[in-house]
Amino acid sequence: MKACCTSVQVTGSRIPSMFFLYVLWILVQTISVHAVNFPYESIQLADSDVRNYSRIDFGASPSPSSNINSTTDCKVYPGDAQWPSDAEWKKFNDTLGGALIKGVPPAKVCYQPTYEATQCATVKANYFYDKLRNDDPVAIVNEWLDGDSCPPSDSSNISASASTCNLDAYPAYVVNVTTVKHVQLAVNFARNSNIRLIIKNTGHDMRGGSAGAGSLSVWTHNLKSFEYLPSVSIGNYQGKAARVAAGIQSFEVGNLASTANVTIVAPAGTVGVAGGWFQGGGHSTYTSYYGLGADQMLSLEVVTADGRFVTADPTNNTDLFWALRGGGGSTYGVVTSVITKAYDPVSIGFSNIIFTTANLSHYVPTVSNESFWTGIRTYLKWGLQICDAGGIGYNFIRPGPNGTLTFTSSLSLPGLNYTQGTAFTSTFFEELNDAGVNITNPYATPTVTRAGAAEVEAIFAAASAYPSRGPGEMNTRLASRLFPRENFKDDDLLDLTVTAIRNFVAEGGYTFHGINHCPTMDVAGNPDNAVGPAYRIAAIHAQGWDSSPAVGPISEQIVRKARFDKYFQPWRDVSPGAGSYMGEADPSEPNWQQSFYGDNYERLLGIKQTIDPWNAFWAPTAVGSEGWEVRNGNAGWPSQNVSIFL
């Protein structure tokens, strides 16, 4: 592998000078092969550091017998006899240089005996925004996964009886990572102490991998570095690239890529680029154009379960490289940085679609109930054209008051301009009219452009927002299905698919969220990675949402979950053998090995058992996770609140 961030300019005609520069250039490339991506990665744990402290020693045995506390069938939990003493935690913190943080949720300051009025007011003002959750050591984006265990005490949407702060639902300690050494120390300490280890960057893991009661959390969010590489040669790839640190978020990459005048495939605004997003596959605006996030990764810097820091690329640790790109996060190691592909700037055409059975505005087309579902059927079939054009469709079907329904879709079409995007959308309205749904595209009319644009945009934004108890926070139970292309090509299958979605929304009262995109092997450049086969033949990543709050009696949560499962199961029934996108999925997905990993599972399991025989890394539905379970005494309620058992 070679990666150059500067080019050598050869001037003059004297052979000795040219030869010297050539030798220098070769030396630069050779050094770059073995160099770390960023300075923080050069600060590493050495063998000499661990000689007198067994809890931070590297893993050397192929079996868990080397663990200090391996005689139990359960991970050690706070209060257990084998839980490290306060003195041990202090000693560990000393090795970290003070980077250890007690796992305390942000709203704890709103409760006695630690109530602090000014801090509580700040938490309340920011509680529903992603930034608070991204920047906090333990807060996660989707509170369904920890039971919303410590909400602000007087939130207007939380009853007084439910307003409690359960500190036991959160990681016991967090390592605020700023060097590779921090990661190595955390991995070694957790493994040797038999403590549950979790990884958090921004907290967007919808399976619960960033949550875990009584765990030690590796918090990579503050690893913030970026470098544009005009030319690299790694494996079979030659072209532009970028080094991206584990803590960099998509909005940051977007700004940095814009400065470098390149396009980098990245997720939604606050999601991390170099962590669980690409490890689970990683969809984006460019999924149908360049492939998934996993398809972009050229080289990875990783701390593995034995505490060693390694490079995984096409020539080094190739099995690890294959597994990390699509085989799931929180499983094989902690990625500290990546080298990812970069492309020339790409224009994107945008267009929006909206129609409803409600009387929202004279600018928004209103249709009958049957015409609405005819329109949905027409859209889902037409969605194949979105894929074929290299675009994505970000759509919702939302139930409203009195049985009303609203459909929105926001199209992003890389390679097209605004005019071309609007023209592309007009073909859908032609097909609607052919199907007997006589509405026109409001976004293509001058009237809306001048007089009703703000009104329509406000309606569209409200109908396309994530459900929450306020802006920014997603507080939703969800399940997902990667519906195959065949479900929309075959008319009988299409009818069955629409019926399953219709019953889920109209009868169940839940929200449908679909993303039309097709990361085929051809689009992705035929990569050899662990992305689930079901994703390569999918035409839409479809999600079902229950946006009722996570608070309330557990018995009530279990009943709600069972009802949700009943309405979602027909989605699986009409797509046998298909899968689910693990990054946004049900943490209790049945037959998850097939749904998330497909035929790749056996190979992935073999890699997991080889590189992590201690089961140091564990997350719900991660490869190898079936050997353990979270026991909270509440069957039917997926939560990360209590200890895990073998």
pLDDT for 176 equals 98
Q: Is pLDDT above 70 for 358? A: yes
Q: Report pLDDT digits (tens) over 480-535.
A: 999 999 999 999 999 999 999 999 999 999 999 999 999 999 999 999 999 999 99
* pTM of the predicted structure, to 2 decimals: 0.88
What average pLDDT does range 214-243 have in this prediction? 97
pLDDT for 459 equals 65
Q: Which residue did the predictor score with more confidence, 456 or 560?
A: 560
Q: Is pLDDT above 70 for 162? A: no
Per-residue DSSP letter, 144: G
pLDDT for 32 equals 43
pLDDT confidence band for 591 (50 / 70 / 90): very high
Q: Report pLDDT digits (tens) over 535-557.
A: 999 999 999 999 776 666 778 88
340 membership: H or E segment, kind and range: strand 333-341
Q: Report pLDDT digits (tens) over 29-68.
A: 333 434 578 999 999 999 999 999 999 999 986 544 444 4
Q: Report pLDDT digits (tens) over 573-587.
A: 999 999 999 999 998
- Domain extents for the chain? 1-35, 47-219, 223-341, 347-465
Residue with tokens 């599972």: 601
Structure tokens that stand for 350 in this block: 């945008």
pLDDT for 73 equals 79
At 242, which amino acid appears? A
What average pLDDT does range 97-118 have in this prediction? 92
* Start-end of H helices in 435-532: 446-447, 453-463, 486-489, 491-502, 521-524
What average pLDDT does range 422-432 have in this prediction? 88
pLDDT for 506 equals 97
End-to-end CA distance of the chain: 41
Distance (Å) of CA 610 to CA 66, 71, 328, 603, 615: 16, 21, 16, 11, 10
Q: Is pLDDT above 80 for 362? A: no
* Least confident span in 214-218, 312-316, 553-557: 553-557
Rg from Cα positions in the chain: 25
Distance CA 418, CA 422 (A): 6
Whether the Cβ atoms of residue 89 and residue 100 lie closer than 8 Å to each other: yes
Burial of 555 (0-12, 13-18, 19+ CB in 10 A): exposed
Q: Which of 512, 580, 538 is nearest to 291 (CA)?
A: 538
What average pLDDT does range 158-176 have in this prediction? 76
pLDDT confidence band for 10 (50 / 70 / 90): very low
What average pLDDT does range 354-382 have in this prediction? 92
CATH fold of the domain at 223-341:
3.30.465
Q: Which residue did the predictor score with more confidence, 556 or 14?
A: 556
Beta bridge partners of 477: 546
pLDDT for 550 equals 61
Q: Which of 300, 289, 293, 286 is nearest to 271 (CA)?
A: 293
Q: Which of 449, 420, 238 is nearest to 347 (CA)?
A: 420
pLDDT for 229 equals 98
pLDDT for 17 equals 46
Q: Mean pLDDT for the chain?
A: 85
The sheet carrying 477-484 orders its strands as 348-356, 405-414, 392-399, 511-516, 538-546, 477-484
pLDDT for 129 equals 79
